[in-house]
Amino acid sequence: MRELTHSIISLIHYTELTESGWCDEAVERYVVATLWDLEQPVQLQQIKKGITERFPVVVSSIVCKRVED
C-alpha cells in the first residue's frame, strides 16, 4: 500500500477545514479583535491594515467583505 505525501495530506486537511467554515470563523475573529482594539468606526482598508499590523496574517478585501456580509 502506498502512503500519501505530506503535501497531499496537508491539502486534504486544508480542504476539509475550508469546507467546514474554519477559515471564515478565523477571519471573523481577527476582524472583531481588530475592531475592538481600534474602538471606533473604520473603513474596510483600515481593518485589513489593522489585522496585518496585529497578527501574522494577510487578509484580502474579498475575504473581509465576505465576513462583513
The pTM for the full model equals 0.59
Total number of domains in the chain = 1
Look up the domain containing 31 and give its range.
Answer: 24-68
Residue 61 lies in a domain: yes
pLDDT for 37 equals 87
The Cα-based distances of 16 to 23, 35, 44 in angstroms read 10, 29, 28
Is pLDDT at 62 greater than 70 in this prediction?
A: no
Residue 11 lies in a domain: no
The mean pLDDT value for 57-64 works out to: 69
The mean pLDDT value for 40-49 works out to: 84
Going by pLDDT thresholds of 50, 70 and 90, the confidence category of residue 22 is: confident
Residue 40 lies in a domain: yes
Helix, strand and coil in the chain, % to nearest 5: 70, 0, 30
Residue 49 lies in a domain: yes
Residue 32 lies in a domain: yes
